[in-house]
Amino acid sequence: MDSPLLLDVIHSTKSMLYDIRDLSRLTRKKFVDKYFEEFFYTQISGIIEQIDLLLDGFLNYMKSTAVVTRKDTVNNLIGKAVENNQHKLQEKKIRVFKRLEKELPETVVPDEHMAFILDSIVRYAIVLMPSGGDIIFSTKSSFVTPKPASETAMSTGEDYSRKIVEISAAYKGSYEQHGMEVTSWPREGEASLSLVLRLVSFLVSEHNGTMEHESDETKPRGQIVLRFLSERRHEVHYQPIDS
């Protein structure tokens, strides 16, 4: 029996138990023998409580042992970063486009760190760009084969190829269309903007990733490319009981 059907059976059983309990309450004060009435109600309530406890325990067991496989983490976190900054994006009329690879492999980066990296990049682009600009997110995976560290390693014939996950954030806008002077907009070299990228770069390197940043000093456009090793392990976690 599959899990969804089993859950439906359990919930239906619990519902019927509650109906029996309510019915037993209605029978109170309907018996001629008051002692038997109390005995009957007490026994029915006790049996229902025991069955209810068993069903709740089984439900919690199913939840606590159900394996949840990590999937599409990077793509989902990009969506959350955009959603978290939606108000500022709308305020500056910045459009966001996504070209995301389906079934993108997981990376070695913890979710919290990846969320910080992506959110910082979105905020960086928002501050840097004028109204009416575009942010284009893209993700893809590819294989790389690093050079073995020694001749001995090379002779073993082992497969050293690793999958790389690439995240690209391209941002572009046009000063000319707004009739603005270049000097009236933030420059990427300014201390606050530079510090944001340094924090991102530091966190990327902490997870053995690489970061490339290309920009145009005369126009509000550029691209940030991140590359991380994919996670080789089949990473799973368990959902909390109260979810």
CATH code (residue 169): 3.30.565.10
Give the model's pLDDT for residue 70.
Answer: 74
Domain-embedded: residue 31:
yes
Cβ(130)–Cβ(180) under 8 Å?
yes
Same domain for 88 and 196, yes or no, is: yes
Q: Are 52 and 46 in contact (CB under 8 A)?
A: no
Check whether residue 88 and residue 52 sit in a common domain. no
Residue 234 counted as domain residue: no
Sort 14 into a burial class: Cβ within 10 Å, 0-12 / 13-18 / 19+. Answer: middle
pTM score, two decimals? 0.64
Residues 192 and 116 placed together within one structural domain of the fold? yes
Within this chain, do residues 90 and 197 fall inside the same structural domain, yes or no? yes
Which of 35, 65, 95 lies at the terminal end of a domain, its last residue?
Answer: 65
Mean pLDDT, range 18-25, rounded to an integer: 79
> Do 53 and 148 have their domain in common?
no
Under 8 Å CB-to-CB from 132, ≥6 apart: which residues?
A: 92, 93, 94, 173, 174, 177, 178
* Contact predicate 168/138, CB 8 Å: yes
Instruction: Tell me whether residue 238 is in a domain.
Output: no
Spatial contact of 78 and 118, defined as CB atoms under 8 Å apart: yes
Residue 73 domain flag: yes
Do the domain assignments include residue 144?
yes
Are 34 and 115 found together in one domain?
Answer: no
Domain boundary among 13, 38, 65: 65
Q: Domain range for residue 74? A: 69-229
Question: In the prediction, which pLDDT does 74 show?
Answer: 95
pLDDT (0 to 100) of residue 190: 64
Q: How far apart are CA 241 and CA 243, in angstroms?
A: 6
**Domain match, 50 and 89 both:** no
Same domain for 95 and 161: yes
Question: Cα angle at 70 between 77 and 113, to 5 degrees?
Answer: 40
Tens digit of each residue's pLDDT (9 = 90 or more) over 161-211 = 678 999 999 988 754 444 444 444 455 556 677 888 899 999 999 999 999
Tell me whether residue 78 is in a domain: yes
From 137, 74, 78, select the one nearest 104 (Cα to Cα). 74
Cβ contacts of residue 164 below 8 Å, gap of 6+? 141, 142, 143, 144, 227, 228, 229, 230
- Whether 30 shows a pLDDT value over 90: the answer reads no
138 located within any domain = yes
Give the number of other CB atoms < 10 A from CB of residue 81.
22
Q: Which of 140, 133, 137, 117 is nearest to 197 (CA)?
A: 117
* Whole-number average pLDDT of the chain: 80
Non-local CB neighbours of 120 within 8 Å, separated by 6+ positions: 196, 199, 200
Q: Looking at the 3D structure of the chain, how many domains does it have? A: 2
Q: Do 88 and 174 have their domain in common?
A: yes
pLDDT score of 129? 81
Structure tokens at 219: 């126009």
103 & 30 share domain: no
In a domain, 236, yes or no: no
Do 155 and 202 belong to one domain?
Answer: yes
Q: What is the pLDDT of residues 99-131, one digit of tens each?
A: 999 989 999 899 999 999 999 999 998 888 878
Same domain, 90 and 46: no
